[in-house]
Structure 1
């Protein structure tokens, strides 16, 4: 999972993710917005899930983060298309709205994000 942190013209940190993980970047950009308390909450939930079969989710304004002991799923809240009206062989492009990644990979990005913020 490749990622890049940058600042826009107003100084706000933006996260860009590699293909198949765009929703992770959108989650940081739309939900986290430099809110380290939210990252603390997600990390605490991950610790609580270790070694269990339980699941946890955090519903945000635009994206929902779902997690178990092994996997993170980030999904756009508006991702609910009815594809009955599509022609055969056609489908909606939703790569930017849904991402799956391992817990370790996700928290490597969280750690790098925190370090980037500290380097202001």
Structure 2
């Protein structure tokens, strides 16, 4: 998983992710407040030890974490789209699910969050 941390003078701390993991970056930028990062890292440690599953419903993205993986799903993935699709049926257009879900291994996600936590801590 490729990522780059940025301190934007206007938007603050941001992460840029590879195209395959853009939803992960969106979740990190928009759903997890900077002050919540240490507590969330502790929750990840608990998931690793207990092997329980953690599910967080964000404003736009649902995160499900198990001891093996982290799965990100945009709420748009579950919206009833039958009416929207019927509008485009004559044009042979279809709505794409690309970018509406992403996943990564638990270790990769944990490493990302630890790096993110360190980046925020050093830049304050």
TM-score of the pair, normalised by structure 2: 0.77
Distance 1:114 1:79, change over 3 A: same
Residue equivalent to 1:24: 24
CA RMSD of aligned residues (A): 2.4
Task: Answer 1 or 2: which has greater helix percent.
Answer: 2
Q: Is the aligned partner of 1:117 residue 2:123? A: no
For structure 2, which runs of at least 5 residues remain unmatched after alignment? none
Stretches of structure 1 lacking an aligned partner (at least 5 in a row): none
Which residue is equivalent to 2:13? 13
Alignment check: 8 A CA contact 1:7 1:14 kept: yes
The two structures have a TM-score, normalised by structure 1, of: 0.79
Question: Which protein shows a greater Rg?
Answer: 2
Deviates more, 1:6-15 or 1:64-73: 6-15
- Aligned residue pairs: how many? 117
SS in 2 for 1:79: helix
